[in-house]
Structure formats: structure tokens, C-alpha cells
Amino acid sequence: MLEIRDLHVAYGGIQAVKGISIDVPTGRIVTLIGANGAGKTSTLRAISGLCKNRKGSISWNGKDLTGSDPVAIVKAGIVMSPEGRRIFPHLTVLENLQLGAYSRSDKDGIASDMTWVFDLFPRLSERRAQKGGTLSGGEQQMLAVGRALMSKPALVMLDEPSLGLAPLLVREVFDIIREINDKGMTVLLVEQNAHAALKIAHKAYVLETGRVTLSGTGEELIADERVRAAYLGG
Amino acid sequence: MNLATFIQNILNSLTLGSLYALVAIGYTMVYGILRLINFAHSEIFMLGAYFVFWGITLVHLPWPVAMVLAILVTASLGVLVDQVAYRPLRDAPRISALISSIGVSFFLQNVAIVFFQAIPREVYRPQWLEDPILFHGVRVLPLTLFVPLLSLVLMLLLIYIVYRTKTGLGMRAISKDIETSYLMGVPVNRVIAITFGIGSALAAASGIMWALRYPQLQPIMGTIPGFKAFIAAVFGGIGSIQGAVIGGLTLGFIEIMTVAFFPDLAGYRDAFAFVLLILVLMVKPTGLLGERPEDKV
């Protein structure tokens, strides 16, 4: 279980996150929805250790991670797949995946996870020797998710995994998220596509200008009038 | 020019070219990862040569042992320079680290002047590198075979590290996107330290062999070869290891062959590299194999 209490994040004097508290129970899919600039990405960046200007507490299965750096956080079992995919275009698909496993040294475990990722994304298997930059947008997204999975995380944070994808691919991405979750991984999902995110989420938070304004189960929020008006197009 | 002289000139070009290439690799690797021109690199080159000298004269080490030890000590020094002078500036504007590197360069040079004194020192050269071999009528100096061969071995080792090891994968990832590498669990600072270590080891090897070829040590001996190797790196496309090797060899050939074919131009020898730099910057600023610099978001 990931517990965030009173998290503050600032960038050069601008407060992006102003004291949010979030729980991500083990084995669940939790989503953060909200408009641009609501503080969703900043929250994920703070959890992953990228933002140094963070206050409040981040605890993971009882262990305090507030001051940890990204490497320690990956080792603790939390990985983030960043917004915009950020795959390495000059490395091959295989190398991108190997890079995801950088923090690990269990060769057999890495090999079996590689097989699993290739089963999950057969397209990547076909293109394993190709440079990441030559993949289509959808394939790059699959690679970004697969790369994150290669660290054998207990908690995967996905930042806008469906951004810029064709509707059919968006469905595929959400199916994959469910599949990952069925495998026992906890998912913290940030999405613009609020409807799809709420549909698969066990728990959801609405963020507005750096604060949590609403929370509940996915179903509750889909039914909520305010959420419908603001994020689900009425 | 007869064939024998021509072959000798080829070997001389290869020798000089590989010495430039080894230094250029250090510039290009550090630039590739940090977008930093490490001006202290010339002094690392100089210190490598001095460490062999002191290893032999003070501690009476055999030459090969002194050479290996000097490379290791210089590599550690390169890592130390990064830790002390560049790492605290990682989040600062790029120009700060650049200025810091110029400071380190002056500092190391002056430390060398104070501790090693400015008088030129004679370098010990093993006899077997000196005695010419006759090969089908061509007199070959073993040194002109030794330098390119050892450089080749070092470069193959480097290519193995960069393209076949986990650390190398980390280096290639960091050179494109530090933040995402960090997110994937790559210990960025450690990989950068290793990069400085490798670059410095290659510069030390080059400095040591330079001192065999031009057997005089001076605290300022690194400046001109350092500048030329930097030009070689720019010519090949800064950030590209293959480019640095091609650039270094090209520069070696241009220098030796121009003087060989036009002996009158010998006095302008040092100017060739700088003319080449100006031409490259005018015609193809990214160099032979360089990529178009992208703006980092």
C-alpha cells in the first residue's frame, strides 16, 4: 500500500501540488483525473523521486520513501512510465526493455519477464531488433509500458498511457492495464481519458489546481454530477 | 617519394592519428552524456605521461607496470575531477560546468608546474620500441606499430564496454535522456563517473604514448594535442565515438601527409587542424557523424 500524506511539490516557486493525500491499496487500480495543470504528473514525479522539492510524506508498505532517489524507488518496487512515452529512440526494442531491468541482477527472472512482456505485446517481439524510434506511436506506448514492467514492479505508475493513440489502441492499452493488474501489480494511473480510466479504476481521485477535490470508487465518480459535467462531457 | 618513405608516412599518420583519437574519445563521451566540453582533458593527458615518469624515476617500477598504474591513477583522477568540479553543477546552466572545466584545466597545469617543475624532462623509452625493424627494405620503427595496435586494442575494449555491457547500455541511454534513464533505475551519477574514468584512462594511455613518440615532458604538453583532439571530435561529430576515431585518424593523416608532400608547409603544421575546424564549422557544423542537436525539454 502506498500512502501519501499532505504532499507539496513546487517548481521554481510555483506550487504544483498543494497538500494532497492519496492511498493506493495493494492490488488495486487507482486513477488520478483532472485538467491540465491539476498536479497529476507532479504527484507521480514526486513519488518516483524526480522532484527534489517535495514536502509531506510518501510511505510504501510502511517504509518511508520521502527522501529517496529514483534508483532507490525503482529498487523498492515502484516504477513510472512517463508521459510522452520517452522511449529511447536510438536503442533497439530489446535494449529498451533491458534498460527497464537495469536495477535487477536476477538473470533468470529478467529472462522470464522478457518472455512475459513479449507475450503481452507480440508486436514488440516481432520488432525486437528494430530501433525504438522506428516504431509507430502505439508500439512505442507498448514499449514504454513493457519497459516499466521489466523492473518487476509491485506498483506501476502510468502517466497518460493513451495520449495521442487511435481509439482502437486506446482500448488495447486499457485492456493491458487490466491484465497487468490481474497479474497482481498495483496500478496508479493518470489519464485525460477520464471515462475509460474511471471504468477500470477501483478507486479514483479528482485533482484540481493541486488539491484533491473528490474521491471515491470509479463507479461512484462516473455517476457523480460534478465529474460528469467537468470531465465526462455532460 | 619512394614506396618505403610512403609506408613510413602511413605508419606515422596512424600513430599520430590514434593518439588524437584516444583523447578525442574522452571529449566526445563526456560531451555525449553531459553536453560538457571538458577542457581539463588535456591536463589528464599530461598527468598520465608524468605519472609514468615518476613511477619509473621515484619508485623504480618496470616500464609496463608504471604504465598500467599510471593509467589507473589517472582514471581515478578523472573521476575525482567530475565529483569535485562538475557534479555539484549538474543542475546549473551548462556554461557553469564549462567554466569550471577551464578552471580545473588551469589548476592542474599549475599544480604540475609547482610540483613537477616546468623544466622539460627526458622520458624513458624501452629499447625494443627504438630499434628499427627492416621489413622488405622498409625501415619500420616498432613504436609506430605499437601505438596504433595498442590504441586499436583499447578502442575495441571501449566498443565492447559501450555496446555489450549493462554500464554501456546505461551510458547510451543517459546520452539521450538523463531523466528517463534515472526513472528506469539507472544510477546516473555512477555511470557518469565510470564514463569519466574510461575517458581519462584513454587520455592517459594517449599521453603516455605521446611521450614515447615526442620524448619530452612539460606541464603544458597537453594543451596543443588536447585542442587538436577536440577538433578531431568536432570534425567527426561530437558525441559520436566512431566520429572521434575517424576525426583523430583524419587529422593525423592530414598533418603528416601535408608535411610529407609539401615540406615547405612544415612550419604551418599546427595550423592545419584549426583550418579544418573552421571549414567543418562552416560546411557541416554537426561534423561527419554528428546528430542535429535537439532542444531538451
In a domain, B100, yes or no: yes
The shortest CB-CB distance from B185 to any of A89, A91, A102 is to A102
A:B CB pairs within 8 Å:
63
Find the domain containing B96 and state its range: 25-221
Q: pLDDT tens digit string along B16-51?
A: 999 999 999 999 999 999 999 999 999 999 999 999
| Alpha helix segments (H runs only) across chain B | 3-34, 41-57, 63-81, 94-116, 142-164, 166-176, 178-183, 188-213, 223-236, 241-261, 269-283
Q: How far is B80 from chain A (nearest CA, A)?
A: 22
Q: What confidence score (pLDDT) does residue B82 get? A: 97
Q: Which of B183, B191, B240, B297 to mutate to test the interface with A (most CBs of A within 10 A)?
A: B183
Dmax (CA) for chain B in angstroms is 61
- CA A213, A217, A221, A224 torsion: positive or negative? negative
Regarding predicted confidence, which is higher, A158 or B289?
Answer: A158
For residue B297, pLDDT over 50 is answered with no
The verdict on A98 touching B (C-beta cutoff 8 Å) is yes
Q: Which of A11, A88, A95 to mutate to test the interface with B (most CBs of B within 10 A)?
A: A88
The verdict on A79 touching B (C-beta cutoff 8 Å) is yes
In a domain, B267, yes or no: no
The verdict on A151 touching B (C-beta cutoff 8 Å) is yes
Q: pLDDT tens digit string along A72-125?
A: 999 999 999 999 999 999 999 999 999 999 999 999 999 999 999 999 999 999
**What is the DSSP track for A180-196?**
HHHTT-EEEEEES-HHH
Mean pLDDT in chain B?
A: 93
For residue B135, pLDDT over 90 is answered with no
What Rg value do the Cα atoms of chain A yield, rounded?
A: 17
All domains of chain A in start order, with CATH: 2-88+156-231 (3.40.50.300)
The verdict on A82 touching B (C-beta cutoff 8 Å) is yes
The shortest CB-CB distance from B184 to any of A69, A90, A151 is to A151
The verdict on A77 touching B (C-beta cutoff 8 Å) is no
Cα B82–chain centre separation? 17
φ, ψ (nearest 5 deg) of residue A92? -75, 165
- CA B139, B143, B146, B147 torsion: positive or negative? negative
Q: pLDDT tens digit string along B145-196?
A: 999 999 999 999 999 999 999 999 999 999 999 999 999 999 999 999 999 9
In a domain, B70, yes or no: yes
The shortest CB-CB distance from A95 to any of B169, B180, B181 is to B169
B40 neighbors B79 (Cβ within 8 angstroms): no
H or E stretch at A207? strand A203-208
| Alpha helix segments (H runs only) across A77-136 | 93-100, 107-120, 122-126
Q: Quick one: what percent of chain B has pLDDT higher than 70?
A: 98
Q: Rounded distance, CA A38 to CA A15, Å? A: 11
Q: A38: left (phi > 0), else alpha (psi -120 to 50), else beta? A: alpha
State how far the alpha carbon of A201 is from the alpha carbons of A5, A28, A77, A221, in Å: 21, 8, 21, 10
ipTM of the assembly? 0.93
Taking an 8 Å cut-off on Cβ atoms, the answer to whether B183 and A74 are in contact is: yes
Residue of A nearest to B291 (CA): A90
In a domain, B159, yes or no: yes
Pairing mode of beta strands B138-140, B133-135: antiparallel
Q: What confidence score (pLDDT) does residue A234 get? A: 61
Q: What confidence score (pLDDT) does residue A122 get? A: 95
The total of structural domains in chain B comes to 1
For residue B136, pLDDT over 90 is answered with no
A63, burial (CB in 10 Å: exposed 0-12, middle 13-18, buried 19+): exposed
State how far the alpha carbon of B241 is from the alpha carbons of A158, B25, B43, B163, B188, in Å: 35, 6, 21, 11, 20
Q: Rounded distance, CA A28 to CA B242, Å? A: 48
State how far the alpha carbon of A86 is from the alpha carbons of A3, A127, A139, B137, B212, in Å: 27, 18, 12, 60, 47
B169 neighbors A110 (Cβ within 8 angstroms): no
Taking an 8 Å cut-off on Cβ atoms, the answer to whether A82 and B184 are in contact is: no
Q: What confidence score (pLDDT) does residue B295 get? A: 46
The verdict on B189 touching A (C-beta cutoff 8 Å) is no
Note down pLDDT in tens along chain A; length 234 residues. Answer: 999 999 999 987 888 999 999 999 999 999 999 988 899 999 999 999 998 778 899 999 999 999 899 999 999 999 999 999 999 999 999 999 999 999 999 999 999 999 999 999 999 999 999 999 999 999 999 999 999 999 999 999 999 999 989 999 999 999 999 999 999 999 999 998 999 999 999 999 999 999 999 999 999 999 999 999 888 876
Q: Quick one: what percent of chain B has pLDDT higher than 90?
A: 81
Taking an 8 Å cut-off on Cβ atoms, the answer to whether A98 and B181 are in contact is: no
The verdict on A88 touching B (C-beta cutoff 8 Å) is yes
Q: How far is A223 from chain B (nearest CA, A)?
A: 36
**Which grid cell is B78?**
578523472
In a domain, B217, yes or no: yes
Taking an 8 Å cut-off on Cβ atoms, the answer to whether A50 and B166 are in contact is: no
Residue of A nearest to B181 (CA): A99
Q: Rounded distance, CA B153 to CA B144, Å? A: 15
The verdict on B172 touching A (C-beta cutoff 8 Å) is yes
Q: What confidence score (pLDDT) does residue A170 get? A: 94
The verdict on A63 touching B (C-beta cutoff 8 Å) is no
Report the length, in residues, of chain B. 297
B91, burial (CB in 10 Å: exposed 0-12, middle 13-18, buried 19+): exposed
- CA B105, B108, B109, B111 torsion: positive or negative? positive
Q: Rounded distance, CA A220 to CA B245, Å? A: 63
The shortest CB-CB distance from A102 to any of B166, B176, B177 is to B166
Q: What confidence score (pLDDT) does residue B32 get? A: 93
For residue B212, pLDDT over 90 is answered with yes
Taking an 8 Å cut-off on Cβ atoms, the answer to whether A80 and B183 are in contact is: yes
The shortest CB-CB distance from B185 to any of A74, A90, A91 is to A74
In a domain, B35, yes or no: yes
In a domain, B177, yes or no: yes
The verdict on B119 touching A (C-beta cutoff 8 Å) is no
State how far the alpha carbon of B226 is from the alpha carbons of A23, A204, B20, B86, B229, in Å: 56, 59, 8, 19, 5
In a domain, B281, yes or no: no
Taking an 8 Å cut-off on Cβ atoms, the answer to whether B184 and A79 are in contact is: yes
Residue of A nearest to B180 (CA): A86
Lowest-confidence segment of A49-53, B65-69, B105-109, B209-213 by average pLDDT: A49-53
The verdict on B193 touching A (C-beta cutoff 8 Å) is no
